[in-house]
Amino acid sequence: MHVLIPFDVSPVSERAVTTALDVLSGHDDIHITAIHVSDRESTSAEVAASSIESMASDRGISVDADVRIVEAGTDSKPTIRNVIAETIEERDIDLVVIGHEEKSLFEQLFRSDTSERALEIYEIPVLIVP
């Protein structure tokens, strides 16, 4: 099984990564791709990617953690969603694990949520971690 974990440098993302690693450790033939997509370089993202690989290694899971820099305008969410969709196709992903954080009423009305959009966009199972 090939699992994709999109991550950013946030507690929500960290919970998604930790949950996926805990749930999947001990299963045979598990491979995880963790990606951080940004429109600028980030040292903290590189550190997070290294940390994900280390945590997975401790659990006996193979992980490729990548930080991808993409050109995006003022609204990078569609670009990030496109990169995730391309990764799903390119790497034959079987499951996407993504973190979700409860939003305020204002945020619910005016901002699209990546985890909710993932359910609409991807034609594979999506595990949303609160």
Per-residue pLDDT tens for 22-77?
998 888 888 999 998 877 778 888 999 999 999 999 998 889 898 888 776 545 77
pTM: 0.81
Q: How many Cβ atoms are within 10 Å of 60's Cβ, its own excluded?
A: 10
Q: How far apart are CA 105 and CA 97, in angstroms?
A: 25
Inform me whether the pLDDT recorded for 17 exceeds 90.
yes
Q: In this predicted structure, what is the pLDDT of residue 91? A: 92
